[in-house]
Amino acid sequence: AKDRGLGLIEVFDDDASSRSLDRLGLRSDLLGALEREQFALNFQPICDLRSGQVVAFEALLRWTHPQRGPVPPDVFIPLAEETGAIVPIGHWVLEQACRELARWGLHGGPRVRVNVNLSPVQLQQPNLARGLLDIVRQSGVDPGDVCLEVTEHSYLREDVTESAAVLRSAGLHFALDDFGTSYSSLNYLKWFPIDHLKVDRSFVGGVAASDTDRGIVRAVLAIAESLRLGVIAEGVETEEQRAALLDLGCVWGQGNLLSTPLTPDAALDLLTGARHS
C-alpha cells in the first residue's frame, strides 16, 4: 500500500481496491467527457422479424477515453448516474439521436423511429418533461417518432408518472426495457404509460432451447396482447431464436443476428440501401 498524499491509499496487490480507484479515475474523467466531445452514438436496428425491415433504431452511447480507449456503457453509465453527469449526458443523447433521425429523413430514408434510453436518475429530475420536450421540438422531428426506454429499477413517485403522462400526451412513446428482470415490472405497467415491452435477452437466449424461457416469452406476449402493447425481443442472435419467436407471434426483434449497433452513417446507408464497394 502506498499513500499518494491525497487521502487515497493505492493497494497494488488488491484487485478490489485498484478497481475502485480505477472507478474514481474514470468518474472524474467522465465529468469533462461531454465538452471534450468524447461521446458518440451507435444505432442498433429494431426490425420486423419476418422481413428484416427496419422499424426503429436504438441509440446506444459510446465513450472513447483518450488513454484507455472504449469504455463499456455498463461501466460508465453507473458512474455517470452516481455523479449526476447522466442528466446533461442524457440530454445530449436525445439531442443527437433526434438530429440523426432528422438527417436520415432529409437524405430520403424511409420513416423510422428512434429509441433513447432514459436513466432512472433522469426520471427523478424535476422538469423532466419540459427539458426533454424542448429538445425534441427544437430538433423538428415528430415526437411520435421518439420512444423513451425506461427500466424497471426506478422508484415511481407520483411526479414521475405525471412527467411521463405529459411526455406521452405530447406524442412520445415509452418502452419498458429489460422486461421481466425486475420484481416491479407489472407495477410499472399499472402506473406508467408504456407502449412497448422489450423482452430481456436472458429469456430470448433460451427461447429456442428452453421450455421455461419459451413459456416466459409466451406469457409476456399474452400480457402485451391484453394490454395492447408492442413487444420487441432483445438480443436475437440465431436463426433458431428468430424462428421460435415468430412461432410464438413475436414480430419485432433486435440483436446481432439482425445487425450490431451501427455508426450514424452506416445506419443511413442501411436505410437508403446504399452499398459500399
Nearer Cβ to ligand C2E, position 73 or 193?
Answer: 73
Inter-residue contact 77 to 90 (CB < 8 Å): no
The string of DSSP letters for 85-139 reads THHHHHHHHHHHHHHHHHHHHHTTPPP-EEEEE--HHHHTSTTHHHHHHHHHHHH
Q: How far is the CB of 51 from ligand C2E (least distance, A)?
A: 19
Compute the residue count for the chain: 277
Q: How far is the CB of 12 from Ca ion (least distance, A)?
A: 33
Residue 80 is which amino acid? A
The entry of Ca ion, ligand C2E, none near residue 163 (CB within 5 to 8 angstroms by kind) is none
Site for Ca ion in 102-141 (CB under 5 A): 117
The entry of ligand C2E, Ca ion, none near residue 237 (CB within 5 to 8 angstroms by kind) is ligand C2E
Nearest to 118 by CA among 139, 108, 132: 132
Residues at the interface with ligand C2E (CB under 6 A): 44, 59-61, 72-74, 77, 90, 93, 117, 119, 177-178, 201, 235, 237, 255-256, 261
φ, ψ at 49 (rounded to 5°)? -70, -20
Structure-block grid coordinates of residue 26: 474514470
Structure-block grid coordinates of residue 143: 415526437
Inter-residue contact 200 to 210 (CB < 8 Å): no
Site for Ca ion in 140-199 (CB under 5 A): 149, 177-178
Helix (H) or strand (E) holding 232: strand 230-233
Q: How far is the CB of 121 from ligand C2E (least distance, A)?
A: 8
Inter-residue contact 71 to 26 (CB < 8 Å): yes
The entry of ligand C2E, Ca ion, none near residue 167 (CB within 5 to 8 angstroms by kind) is none
The entry of Ca ion, ligand C2E, none near residue 256 (CB within 5 to 8 angstroms by kind) is ligand C2E
Q: Which stretch binds Ca ion (CB under 5 A): 87-95, 152-160, 234-242, 267-275?
A: 234-242
Q: How far is the CB of 59 from Ca ion (least distance, A)?
A: 9
Q: How far is the CB of 151 from Ca ion (least distance, A)?
A: 7
Q: How far apart are CA 217 and CA 235, in angstroms?
A: 13
- In the DSSP assignment, the letter for residue 144 is G
Nearer Cβ to ligand C2E, position 103 or 153?
Answer: 153
The residue count for binding Ca ion (CB under 5 A) is 5
Q: How far is the CB of 142 from ligand C2E (least distance, A)?
A: 21
Nearer Cβ to ligand C2E, position 11 or 75?
Answer: 75
User: CA-based diameter of the chain, in Å?
Assistant: 63
HSE-CB at 47 with a 13 A cutoff on CA atoms is 24
Binding site for Ca ion (CB under 5 A): 117, 149, 177-178, 234
